Every structure is written in C-alpha cells, then in structure tokens.
Structure 1
Amino acid sequence: MEDTLVLIKHANFTPEDSSTRRRNQRILTTKNNKYMRKIEELANEWLRFFHDKKLQEEKNKSIVKEEVSAERLRKSKGKRLQSTTFVVKNVSKKRKVPKKGECPPVVTNEITQRLNEFIVNEMKGTDVKLVIQKTLYKSDTLKTQNRLNMPFNQLETNQFLTEDERQIVVSDVPKENNIEVSLLGPTLEMYKLKMELTMWFIFSTYNYVLKTNWYQFWYDNKQHLKEGSKIQVWSFRRNQWLCFVIVCVEKPGGIGDVI
C-alpha cells in the first residue's frame, strides 16, 4: 500500500473527479468533431475531383465524336451516298429528282409580279433573285424532317450568298455551318421565328436547306403551302441581311395562290 502511494505521489498523479471527467470528455468530443469535419472536407474534395475528371472525359469524347463526324462528312463530299433510305423512310413513295434540263419552265404571273413589287417598294429589298421553283413534297411537310430541301440541280441561281456566307454553309464543322436568315411567308408577313440556312448532301446531290423552325412555318401557312403545290423561293437583301420569301405559284389543282 505504501509502495503504491509513493508511486502515485512520484508520478504527480491526481485522480479525476466527475467534473474533470466531463470536461475531458467535452475536449475529446470537440477534437473528434474537428477531425471528422476535416475528413469530410477531404472526402468532398476528392468527390469534386473525380466528378470534374468525369465531366472532362465526357467532354473530350464529345469533341472526338464531332471531329470524327466532321471528317466523315468531309470524305463523303463529292461521293455518292451508299443509301438514302434514312431520308425517305417517312415519304409515302420514292421520287426521281429531276435533272436541270427536266425542270418545268419558270412560272411568271400576277403573283410573281406582285411579289417583286412588294419586296422592292414596301420591304425596301435589294438584290432580288429567284432561287428555285420546286414541287412541295410530303417530306417538306413532315415534322420529323423539319426542313425545306432546295437541290442544287434545280436552282435557278446559286449566286445569292456572299463569299463569307458561302464559306460558312460549306464548312465541315458541325453546328457552325448555319447562317441565320429571315423568312417572308406567302401572306407577305415576316415570320417571327428564327430560320437557318445550311447545306446537306442528300438524294445524291447537294442541297441548300432551310431548317430549325421550318415545320412550324409550314404548319402556320399550310393553307397556302399544300403538298403537291408548285412553290418559288426568292432571296433578297434588307439592310444587307439575307432574307427569303416563299410563295405558291400553282396549287395542286393548277390555280395559283393569292397574295
């Protein structure tokens, strides 16, 4: 017993009372909480690191896919497509795209005369040109297609773009080969939604294509632009901005539209 007391006194040991024990427990709990917060911060940093790394990998994959698509598009230019079934699968029947020499004569009537006068006098348009006269096919009215095709071999002129605009639409870079244009409808009102012009290779030929909100435009004007109608697409400049106008010059029954 005496030996034990000597050891305690020599070690300067003082037994804990209940208040000291609680204080020590609080200190230990505070330290543990501090360590846990530090561990949690480190864990969150690692999670953010792996999350950012995953996003960067997905971004890199997307860039590679776009580059591969651009390269395939570049290689496909000047070559005949092996299949165009993806283009015509929703069309009621396949059609033969007419050659330039087979195109019918350009319709000139009161509608085209009134249109020209309206563009020049009321729209203050310049550089007015007839781009194409074509039949409005079922594929031009489908929501799944959402574009108006203007095949190169049916164009009346290919000189309606500036050199800068032409370089954009022939670009191989996806999502960068579009130019925004304005579209005047068959009722001679400028359409409120955005429209874009680009170039595609379909039906074994190059095509200028009006897209983005084409289906909505057609739907809003479907009483004037019926399937089987003969339409004309004109281009003009308004304060140097490229605009197009679409008018029906001959309905399926052989009667032109009224402006």
Structure 2
Amino acid sequence: MADNILMIEDAPAARTRKRRPTIEEDDSYLLKIQKLANAMLKSIRDNELGLETNKSKETAKKRSVRMLSASTTSAKKKRKVPRKYVRMPVVINEVTERLNEFVTNELKGTELQLVIQKRLYYSDTLQSQNRLSIPVKQMENVEFLTTDETRTLNNKVNKIEVLLVGPTLKVYNKPMELTTWNMQSSVNYVLKSHWFEFWSENRACLKEGSKIQVWSFRRGRQLCFAVVCVEKPGGDDQEDVVA
C-alpha cells in the first residue's frame, strides 16, 4: 500500500519534468521570433524605401525634362527670328521714265542713280518717327556719296542738307536732311527733319505698303533725292521679306 502511495506521489513529479518550457525559455524564444520579425520588416521597409527613392528620382527626372522642354518651347516662341530680306527685281516703268526725263531735262540734274527700292512701312508714315528709313542691307547702290559727304556723316555734325523731289515730280520747298542711324547690326541712312510734312502732302501716292524707289542725283555739287511710287499696295510681290 505504501508502495502504491509513493508511486502516486511520484507521478506528478514525473509529469512536471515533461511540462512545457519554463517562462525564461518562452521569453527567449519570443525574443528570437521578434528579432526575426523585426529583421524581416526592416528588409521589407528598406526595399520599399529603395523603390520609393528610385520612383522619386525618376519622377524628378521626368519633371526636369518636362520643365526644360517647356522652357525651350517658350524661348523659341518668344525669340524673334530675324527676317531675311529678299531682293526683288527693280521696277522700270513709266514712272521711272518720267522721273529720268524730269531730272535730266527740267532740273538739269546729273548722276541719277537708284539708291533703294522698298516697301513704305507703317513706321515711315508716323509723325512721331518723322523719317524715311533707308536700310543699308536693302540698298541697290551704296556709293552715291562723295568722300567729303561720307566724312561729314561720320563726324559730329552727322547730317547733310539735301533737296527732295516728290512722287508728283514737284520739288519740295523745305530742305530735308540725310543722316545715319546706328543699328544693332548695321548703319541705316535716314531722310528726316520735314519728312512727315512731305509725306502728308504726298500721302495719296505714298500709301503704306506701296513700293517706292529713292533716287539720288546732283544739281551742280548739291546732293538731291527723288521719292517715287512704282507700285501701289497689294502688288503680286507684296512681301519683300520672308521669315
């Protein structure tokens, strides 16, 4: 009987040895699992951050490309492309023939030569401008001045008083001045002083868009000019310049 009691009392002890691990072992096991889980989470986070960084870099790169493209397009729109002058055939008609006869026979002029053929621009008709522009790049003849006249235009005086004949072959009764204006890429000749008044008196002939010719000639030693209209606005070759 005693032996049976001892066996019964010993049984719980044996079962106790087979129980689950102790609390310390549980804590150690959980700590290992937590470390593994943290390591996995860190790895996943790093991968995600790496993807996000790459995406951010890609997005920033695309944004920069778009901004550069937009800036280039805007610059192209704002940039003024220089207009290239296309030289048109010189017009010879009854107007030029009458001018030749008038200068030679009536005014006893000499050295008649075409200086420029151009369209009469809007700026040539403005009172605020009060000048006729003679762009050097469009001139038919740049050697119409004497050495002394060239020297005068290059010094501080920078002007020569000239006589002017209008499109109706009438001598204008007020003296005009020839001078030069320094442009960005060249030097232009300019007829000024009483130009707007002259144009106003001849506006029926010198309409904006008309093709005009400016001729130079001499009366004795005096430099003179004649301005005539050889083609009305809206001619077949209206555009003398192209982009």
TM-score if structure 2 supplies the norm length? 0.62
3-state DSSP of counterpart to 1:113: helix
Give the SS at the match of 1:252: coil
3-state SS of 1:233 partner:
strand
Which segments of structure 1 move beyond 6 Å, counting only runs of 4 or more? none
Q: 2:125 aligns with which of 141, 157, 162?
A: 141
Alpha-carbon distance in structure 1 between the residues aligned to 2:206 and 2:84: 21
- Contact kept in structure 2, 1:133 and 1:156, CA below 8 Å: yes
Q: What are the superposed Cα offsets for residues 11-67 of structure 1, whole Å, 9 maximum, x if unpaired?
A: xxxxxxxxxxxxxxxxxxxxxxxxxxxxxxxxxxxxxxxxxxxxxxxxxxxxxxxxx
* Residue 114 of structure 2: aligned partner: 130
1:217 is the counterpart of 2:198: yes
CA change 1:177–1:195 in 2 (3 A) is same
Could you tell me which residue of structure 1 aligns to residue 141 of structure 2? 157
Question: Per-residue deviation at 1:253?
Answer: 3.4
Distance 1:148 1:98, change over 3 A: farther
> 1:53-202 counterparts in 2 under 5 A?
97-99=83-85, 102-171=86-155, 173=156, 176-202=157-183
Deviation at 1:202, TM superposition (A): 2.7
The match for 1:252 is: 233
Q: Distance in 2 between matches of 1:203 and 1:149?
A: 15
Instruction: Identify unmatched segments of 5+ residues in structure 2.
Output: 1-79, 237-243
The count of aligned residue pairs is: 157
Instruction: Return the alpha-carbon distance in structure 2 between the equivalents of residues 98 and 233 of structure 1.
Output: 21
Find the counterpart in structure 2 of residue 243 from structure 1.
224
**Bigger Rg, which one:** 2
Q: What TM-score, normalized to structure 1?
A: 0.58
Specify which structure has the bigger relative contact order, considering alpha-carbon pairs within 8 angstroms and separated by 6 or more residues.
2
Equivalent position amino acid for 1:140 in 2: D
Question: Does the CA-based 8 Å contact 1:98-1:154 persist in structure 2?
Answer: no
* Structure 1 contact 97–203 (Cα < 8 Å) conserved: no
The reply on whether 1:230 has 2:214 as its aligned counterpart is no
Consecutive unaligned residues in structure 1, runs of 5 or more: 1-93
Q: Specify the SS of the correspondent of 1:118.
A: helix
Q: 1:138 to 1:118 in 2, by over 3 A?
A: same
Distance in 2 (CA, whole Å) between partners of 1:120 and 1:210 is 23
In the alignment, residue 130 of structure 2 is paired with which amino acid?
Answer: N
Counterpart of 2:18 in structure 1 is: none
Whole-Å separation in 2 of the counterparts to 1:225 and 1:159? 26
Shift of 1:96: 5.4
Do 2:112 and 2:215's aligned partners in 1 also have CA atoms closer than 8 Å?
yes
8 A contact 2:209–2:234 mirrored in 1: no
Q: Structure 1 residues 96, 147: closer, same or farther in 2, change over 3 A?
A: farther
The match for 2:10 is: none
Q: For 1:104 and 1:95, locate their aligned partners in 2 and report how far apart those are by CA, in whole Å.
A: 21
Q: Which amino acid aligns with 2:154?
A: V
Counterpart amino acid of 2:220?
A: N
CA distance in 2: counterparts of 1:119 and 1:222, whole angstroms:
22
